[in-house]
């Protein structure tokens, strides 16, 4: 017997449909498309409004608008460089891929941290992108090998809109949460991590999302695609993966209204105050404050604000290979206060951050 | 309802099943194929391109299916999980049976590495030439030829002789293996 391969494939695709097979459900698909199109239209509208404003306000504003705008395509740009076409990155030659997981987008169950390595990297108010990387190699039928890229040579990232690279984030550095985890690992008296870090655990890194062609101007709100690539996993061959969706939100700046007596040296992430309780000392003293925020990067922004105010990591839970779960607890301190920060998925907000504050 | 929604409805109603089965050639499973097609539909219809009629949209969505497929590590890992379903090298004699041939082809395709599988689908379903496949996948012509040669060699192990496939519009490169 011989098989006509072309005919067999056409039969497999275009042959009669089996009875009873339900049609493809497009309800959710149409909703996702509407949302994406709305975001794109909104971005175009914002750009148009900015251009009109520049005409009205004169040359100085026009120059500012140009500086804050996203770059156009640059013919001949190196693949992955500012202004290059995303297509120029090509695709992986071989059976290697890169997993990029956004911090704060997974779901922590009772026993594990679940995430989708193809899922969006998150919706961010801030312009720091926190991710963990894993390089995956196909090691033959039914087997894969996972490698954790060196912190010194993490994969490169390119942020793309409308097919053009508009931001080349870097250099990567550890997130405050990762620094807390590493700090605890080095001090771990149990001996479970005698060398300090668990080399097989993906590490959380953070990069700044600055627009190409600007002096560090943050990327404007909108929906982007992120690509990752590395030359390290497979010598001589570039490993390219992506895209992952990334949504950048308008940045909230309204400070949280604080009750009288709240310690002024504890910066809270901007958002809506859900609860602020001054503990009366019966069982504990200090403050318990919960702030609701939009986006998935509330924890990252809260930790950054504390770090910028001089707080340093004291300890952190080390869960599920060092990745930071949503409900992970991070403890930071300065000379006067100890702050324990935790995060949950809110009912009225994307995330709710709870600060437990006590004097040292 | 916006224009694109009419096109989406018509496309899914008329060709949704075919798109899923096209994707299943790549994924090896219907559930994964439906995920793949849904993601491809989102990408294709979110771009603002004027997809004004279902036939043109189908070709565009099929391209998106391939892109999403090659992007997807998780799916790639699932394929690895189904490789044990290899039908084996034995072939059965008997009359031509289209449905049996389809099942065999699915099982045989599932044994191929993702890029080889993509090359086979582009060559023998989409009827693309080697340079067109190379352009689509970002590969050199020579790499595509090698992939096709390796793929046909492997498929013949499961399906028996593939005479039409051996009449490629390319010169197949020797793989160094004997049969």
> pLDDT value at position A216?
86
Give residues 112 to 151 of B whose Cβ lies within 8 Å of A.
113-115, 120-121, 124-125, 127, 137-139, 143
- Best CA proximity match to B58, nearest among B33, B83, B40, B79: B40
What fold is seen in the domain B95-172?
Arc Repressor Mutant, subunit A (1.10.10)
- For the cut 70, the answer to whether the pLDDT of residue A62 exceeds it is no
* Cβ <8 Å between A5 and B84: no
Top pLDDT among A9 and B137 is at A9
Q: Give A318 or A72, the one with higher predicted confidence.
A: A72
Q: How far is A268 from chain B (nearest CA, A)?
A: 37
**Which pLDDT belongs to residue B54?**
80
| A84-108+115-248 topology per CATH | Immunoglobulin-like (2.60.40)
The reported pTM is: 0.52
Break chain B into its structural domains and give their ranges.
3-86, 95-172
Instruction: State residue A341's pLDDT score.
Output: 85
Mean pLDDT, chain B, as a whole number?
73
Which pLDDT belongs to residue A338?
87
Nearest neighbour of A26 by CB, restricted to B8, B46, B73: B8
For B37-63, write each residue's pLDDT tens digit: 988 888 888 776 667 788 888 988 998
ipTM reported for the complex surpasses 0.95? no
**Is there a contact between A138 and B16 if contact means CB atoms under 8 Å apart?**
no
Find the CB nearest A24 among B20, B96, B164: B20
pLDDT reading at A124 higher than 90 = yes
pLDDT of residue A167: 94
At residue A233, the pLDDT reads 47
Residue in chain B closest to A10 (alpha carbons) equals B125
Task: Choose between B32 and A209: higher pLDDT.
Answer: A209
Contact A9 B159 (CB under 8 A): no
**pLDDT score at A83:** 92
- What is the spatial distance between Cα B66 and Cα A211, in angstroms, rounded to a whole number? 30
Average pLDDT, integer, range B137-142: 79
Q: Residue B23 corresponds to which tokens in the numbers above? A: 């994707």
Domain ranges of chain A: 84-108+115-248, 272-359
Between CA A146 and CA B32 the distance in angstroms is 22
- What is the Cα A12 distance to its own chain's centre? 40
The residues, ordered by sequence, that sit 6+ positions from A109 with a Cβ below 8 Å of its Cβ are: none
Question: Looking at the domain covering A272-359, what would its CATH class be?
Answer: alpha beta
pLDDT tens digits, one per residue of A263-315: 888 999 988 888 888 887 776 788 999 999 999 888 889 988 998 999 887 65
Question: pLDDT value at position A115?
Answer: 58
Contact residues for B12 (Cβ-Cβ < 8 A; gap 6+): A23, A24, A26, B19, B41
Preferred mutation among A14, A17, A24, A138 to probe B, highest tally of B CBs within 10 A: A24
In whole angstroms, how far apart are CA B161 and each of B91, B107, B147, B165?
A: 10, 16, 18, 9
- Cis ω before A243 (30° cut-off from 0): yes
Average pLDDT, chain A: 72
Sign of CA dihedral A298, A302, A305, A307: negative
Tell me, what's the pLDDT at A56? 30
Share above pLDDT 90 across residues of chain A, in percent, rounded to a whole number: 14
Reported as a single tens digit per residue, the pLDDT across B2-15 is 788 888 988 998 89
Query: Does residue B72 surpass a pLDDT of 50?
Result: yes
């Amino acid at each position: 017997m011989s098989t006509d391969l072309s005919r067999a494939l056409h039969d497999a695709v275009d042959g009669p449909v089996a009875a009873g097979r339900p049609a493809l459900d497009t309800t959710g698909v149409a909703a996702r498309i509407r949302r994406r199109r709305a975001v794109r239209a909104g971005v175009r509208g914002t750009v148009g409004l900015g251009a009109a404003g520049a005409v009205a306000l004169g040359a100085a504003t026009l120059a500012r608008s140009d500086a804050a705008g996203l770059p156009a395509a640059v013919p001949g740009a190196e693949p992955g460089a500012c202004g290059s076409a995303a297509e120029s990155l090509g695709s992986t030659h071989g059976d290697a891929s890169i997993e990029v997981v956004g911090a704060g987008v997974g779901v922590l169950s009772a026993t594990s941290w679940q995430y989708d390595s193809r899922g969006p990297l998150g919706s961010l108010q801030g312009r720091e992108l926190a991710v963990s990387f894993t390089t995956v190699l196909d090691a033959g039928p039914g087997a894969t090998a996972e490698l954790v890229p060196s912190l010194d040579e993490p994969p490169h990232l390119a942020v793309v809109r409308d097919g053009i690279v508009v931001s080349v984030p870097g250099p990567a550095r550890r997130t405050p949460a990762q620094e807390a985890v590493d700090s605890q690992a080095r001090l771990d008296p149990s001996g479970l991590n005698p060398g300090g870090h668990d080399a097989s655990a993906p590490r959380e890194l953070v990069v700044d999302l600055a627009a190409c062609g600007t002096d560090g101007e943050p990327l404007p709100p909108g929906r982007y695609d992120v690509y990752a690539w590395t030359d390290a996993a497979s010598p001589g061959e570039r490993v390219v993966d992506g895209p992952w969706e990334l949504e950048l939100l308008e940045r909230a700046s309204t400070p949280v209204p604080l009750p009288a007596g709240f310690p002024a040296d504890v910066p809270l992430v901007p958002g809506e105050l859900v609860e602020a309780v001054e503990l009366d000392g019966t069982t504990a003293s200090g403050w318990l404050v919960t702030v609701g925020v939009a986006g998935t990067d509330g924890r990252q922004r809260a930790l950054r604000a504390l770090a910028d105010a001089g707080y340093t990591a004291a300890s952190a839970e080390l869960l599920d290979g060092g990745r930071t779960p949503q409900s992970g607890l991070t403890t930071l301190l300065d000379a006067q206060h100890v702050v324990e920060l935790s995060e949950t998925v809110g009912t009225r907000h994307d995330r709710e951050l709870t600060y437990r504050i006590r004097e040292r | 309802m916006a224009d694109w929604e009419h096109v989406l409805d018509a496309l899914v109603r008329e060709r949704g099943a075919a798109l899923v089965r096209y994707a299943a050639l790549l994924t090896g499973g219907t559930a994964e194929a439906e995920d793949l097609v849904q993601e491809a539909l989102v990408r294709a219809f979110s771009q603002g391109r004027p997809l004004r009629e279902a036939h043109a949209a189908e070709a565009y969505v099929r391209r998106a299916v391939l892109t999403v497929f090659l992007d997807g590590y998780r799916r790639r890992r699932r394929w690895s999980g189904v490789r044990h379903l290899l039908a084996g090298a034995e072939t059965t004699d008997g009359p031509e049976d289209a449905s049996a041939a389809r099942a065999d082809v699915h099982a045989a395709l599932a044994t191929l590495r993702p890029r080889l599988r993509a090359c086979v689908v582009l060559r023998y379903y989409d009827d693309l030439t080697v340079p067109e496949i190379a352009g689509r996948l970002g590969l050199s012509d020579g790499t595509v030829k090698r992939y096709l040669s390796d793929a046909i060699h492997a498929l013949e192990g499961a399906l028996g002789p593939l005479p039409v496939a051996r009449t490629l519009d390319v010169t197949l490169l020797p793989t160094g293996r004997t049969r």
